[in-house]
Amino acid sequence: MNFSNKLISWYQLHKRDLPWRHTSDPYFIWLSEIILQQTRVNQGLPYYLRFVEAFPSVQDLAAAPQEDVLKLWQGLGYYSRARNLHTAAVQVVDNGDTFPNNYKELLKLKGIGDYTAAAIASFAYNEPVAVVDGNVYRVLSRIFGISTPINSTDGIKEFKKLAQELIDPKHPASHNQAIMEFGAMQCVPKNPDCNICPFQKDCVAFQDERITELPVKIKKTKVLNLHHHYMVTVTPSGKTILQERPQSGIWAGLYEFPFVEAKGALLPSELTTAVDYENVYSGVRFRESVFNQEPIIHKLSHRKIHAYFWIIHTESELENAITIEGARSKPLHVLMERFMTQFWPLKS
């Protein structure tokens, strides 16, 4: 039995029952693939179900305000995926409601790269293009004993070529599903159970006892420490002020309290010096106190945010203040959502 047949046989026995495996509709497949980029199935699954419910067709998605899409994406991270998803939906509708039906055309859609184009093309149209995701890198590097770094230019080229040579042109969809599922369920990153692996005899890494060494990845983790002092405005009627993040960079397009960046903790006097209060509160009198003496730590893959929340009670109403319900209905990043849940508990 060749590589692909073996893989597909394993897949038939061990595949998980996932909703996007019951459809060949490119829209639903596309949706699932975008949601699952750099995201575990268990984390993405509830989002997929909610998106299908809220936007049953690409036309529904295109017609929605981008803010609605971001709100539904809230908490999933990598928010440019949601923005690009919406942009691409509009692209499709503008193109006469025609969804691209091949790898090359799929690549033209915003947010669809090499992997996603191959996934949709193979799953929906049975085009024989190999997917190469994190699972595929791991499976191939181990079975074939390849130590080229998977995130180097050479590695990307080498693994893509090998993956394409291995794909069964008769069963592109099953093959691609199978190799990824195999990586996710059997050839896992840590402590794979090689004793029940159908490729044990073929696997170079297992024979050479190099499972823990493969795949090789060049690591570059620079974590930047940031200190954010958020200003939680509370007006006499209980309204507050949010501002939208810039359209680029981290948390683009999401909402949060206005904040100032500092080098660490601040005294109230230092805060009032750092903030252009006149601009925010336009002459209105206020008093402020810090909500948390110790910073709330919010960790991201490349940032560690030390967050301080200053509760600022104003003596009069403000023009640009919105209700708490209004604030909570905006798309928020997890740090914001967590604070609001703690500060303004939902009353049932």
Which active-site residues does the annotation give?
33
256 lies in the site for DNA, by CB under 7 A: no
3 state DSSP class of 238: coil
Q: Is 91 exposed, middle or buried (0-12, 13-18, 19+ CB in 10 A)?
A: middle
Bin 184: left if φ > 0, else alpha if -120 < ψ < 50, else beta. alpha
339 lies in the site for DNA, by CB under 7 A: no
CA 135 to chain centre: 17
Q: Name the residue among 251, 235, 248 with its Cα closest to residue 287.
A: 235
Piece of the chain touching DNA by CB under 7 A; list 50-58, 62-70, 79-87, 92-100: 79-87
Piece of the chain touching DNA by CB under 7 A; list 92-100, 219-227, 236-244, 283-291: 219-227
By rule CB under 7 A, what string of x and - marks binding of each residue 91-120 to DNA? -------------------xxxxxxxx-x-
For residues 152 and 237, which CB has a smaller minimum distance to DNA in the complex? 152
For residues 248 and 293, which CB has a smaller minimum distance to DNA in the complex? 248
18 lies in the site for DNA, by CB under 7 A: yes
- Residue bearing tokens 């997917």: 131
Instruction: Please spell the DSSP secondary structure of 183-225, one letter per residue.
Output: HHHTS-SSS--GGG-TTTTT-HHHHTT-GGG-S-------PEE
- Residue bearing tokens 């949709």: 120
Which residue among 22, 222, 263, 347 contacts DNA (CB under 7 A)? Answer: 222
Piece of the chain touching DNA by CB under 7 A; list 167-175, 181-189, 230-238, 270-278: 181-189
219 lies in the site for DNA, by CB under 7 A: yes
Q: Name the residue among 150, 128, 140, 129 with its Cα closest to residue 180.
A: 140
CB 233 within 8 A of CB 309: no
122 lies in the site for DNA, by CB under 7 A: no
| Kind and range of the H or E run holding 28 | helix 26-36
For residues 249 and 283, which CB has a smaller minimum distance to DNA in the complex? 249
38 lies in the site for DNA, by CB under 7 A: yes
300 lies in the site for DNA, by CB under 7 A: yes
Number of separate helices (H) and strands (E) present in the chain: 16, 7
- Residue bearing tokens 């823990």: 212
49 lies in the site for DNA, by CB under 7 A: no
147 lies in the site for DNA, by CB under 7 A: no
Q: Closest separation between CB of residue 174 and DNA, Å?
A: 12
Give me the residues that bind DNA (CB under 7 A), please. Answer: 18, 20-21, 32-33, 36-43, 75-80, 84, 110-117, 119, 133-135, 137-138, 151-153, 177, 180-181, 183-184, 189-191, 215, 217, 219-222, 248-252, 298, 300-302, 333-335
